[in-house]
Amino acid sequence: MDYKNLFHINQITKPLKNLYRQATENFRKILFLKARKRDSRNSTKGPQRYHFIEGVLYTLLAQKTAREPFEKFNVLQIGANDGYTVDPVFNFCGILEKNKVRLAAVEPLPEVFDLLIKTYANHSDFHPYNILIGSGNTQTIYKIKSKYWPQYRGIIGSGVSSMNYDHVLRKAQKQLPKSLTKNKNIENFIENQEIACISLTRLIKEWGHTPDFLQIDVEGYDDDVIYSLDMSQFKPKAIGFEVCLLSQDRKNRLFEYLSEHNYIIATASEDDACAILKN
- The boundaries of every CATH 3.40.50.150 domain in the chain are 9-134+199-277
64: pLDDT strictly greater than 70:
yes
C-alpha distances in Å from residue 141, one per residue of 58, 144, 148, 169, 197: 34, 10, 17, 12, 11
Instruction: Check: CB of residue 246 under 8 Å from CB of residue 223.
Output: yes
- What's the pLDDT at 52? 79
pLDDT (tens digit per residue) in 228-267 = 999 999 999 999 999 989 999 999 999 999 999 999 998 7
Which residue, 275, 271, 265, 276, is CA-closest to 6? 265
| Cβ within 8 Å of residue 84, ≥6 positions away | 41, 42, 90, 94, 119
C-alpha distances in Å from residue 76, one per residue of 79, 107, 181: 10, 11, 37
pLDDT (tens digit per residue) in 138-180 = 999 999 999 999 999 888 888 889 999 999 999 999 999 999 9
How many of the other CB atoms lie within 10 Å of CB of 45?
A: 18
How far is the C-alpha of 114 from the C-alpha of 135, rounded, in Å? 24
Q: Which of the two residues, 46 and 132, has the higher pLDDT score?
A: 132
How far is the C-alpha of 22 from the C-alpha of 267, rounded, in Å? 17
Q: Identify residue 102 by its one-letter amino acid code.
A: R
pLDDT (tens digit per residue) in 100-137 = 999 999 999 999 999 999 999 999 999 999 999 988 89
* CA atoms within 13 A of residue 16's CA, in its CB half-sphere: 23
Q: pTM (2 decimals)? A: 0.84
Instruction: Check: CB of residue 9 under 8 Å from CB of residue 276.
Output: no
When pLDDT is averaged across residues 218-225 and rounded to a whole number, the result is 93
C-alpha distances in Å from residue 111, one per residue of 149, 201, 230, 271: 12, 25, 30, 26
199: pLDDT strictly greater than 80:
yes
Confidence grade of residue 3 (pLDDT, cut at 50, 70, 90): very low
C-alpha distances in Å from residue 124, one per residue of 93, 100, 119, 240, 278: 11, 10, 12, 24, 31
How many of the other CB atoms lie within 10 Å of CB of 22?
A: 16
- What's the pLDDT at 164? 92
CATH superfamily of 9-134+199-277: Vaccinia Virus protein VP39 (3.40.50.150)
- What's the pLDDT at 121? 96
- What's the pLDDT at 22? 53
What percentage of the chain exceeds 90 in pLDDT?
Answer: 69
Confidence grade of residue 50 (pLDDT, cut at 50, 70, 90): low
